[in-house]
Amino acid sequence: MKICSICNQTYVDDNLNYCLNDGGTLTSYNDDAPPTVMFERARTTQQNWENPQTPNLWGNQPLQQHQAQSPAPPNQPFYPGQLQGQNQTLPTVGLALGIFSLLFACCYGGIPFGAAALIVGFLSMKNINDNPVEFGGRGLAIGGIVTGLIGLLFSLGLFLLVIISG
């Protein structure tokens, strides 16, 4: 639609460039009503598209989360069972090494066994202190350190006696 700049006559034919009445130049005259209607329709259609989707998304996600979390609770009771059975392998090895250091203290075996028992025992204590839930056997670790220390000192004493006496 075009409008005359002189007489404000409107012309539906957009191909006209000059007014038929006075020959004035025609300028494009856009009615504001259609675009606003188009925008309003676009907004309403967007709302119509979003509204049905958002309830479906919010309705489906909790169901999927519940389905994903449902296998988890049966696994959780296993953790307390693992807590009761603490890892005591390292302190057990340390105590065994300490006992070996005592058994072989007579023939200098207390030096390597005792040193190993001390290292393993202190590593066990470190594990127990860092993660007391997972690692146990504090008494075993202390026993390994004590027996390893006795075996180590006894073997070192024997070694020094032999050197001094020899």
Interacting residues toward Zn ion by CB under 5 A:
4, 6-7, 9, 19, 21-22, 24
Nearer to Zn ion, 20 or 106 (CB): 20
Q: How far is the CB of 31 from Zn ion (least distance, A)?
A: 19
Handedness of CA 15, 20, 24, 29 (dihedral sign): negative
Nearer to Zn ion, 4 or 93 (CB): 4
Crossing angle of the two packed helices 138-165 and 110-130, in degrees rounded to 10: 150
Nearer to Zn ion, 4 or 149 (CB): 4
Q: How far is the CB of 25 from Zn ion (least distance, A)?
A: 9
Q: Which of 148, 160, 158, 134 is nearest to 81 (CA)?
A: 134
Q: Which of 110, 116, 117 is nearest to 157 (CA)?
A: 110
Query: Residue type for 138, please?
Result: R
Nearer to Zn ion, 3 or 150 (CB): 3
Dihedral, 135, 139, 111, 104 alpha carbons, nearest 10: -120
Q: How far is the CB of 9 from Zn ion (least distance, A)?
A: 5
Q: How far is the CB of 5 from Zn ion (least distance, A)?
A: 8
Rounded to whole angstroms, the Cα distance separating 95 from 126 reads 15
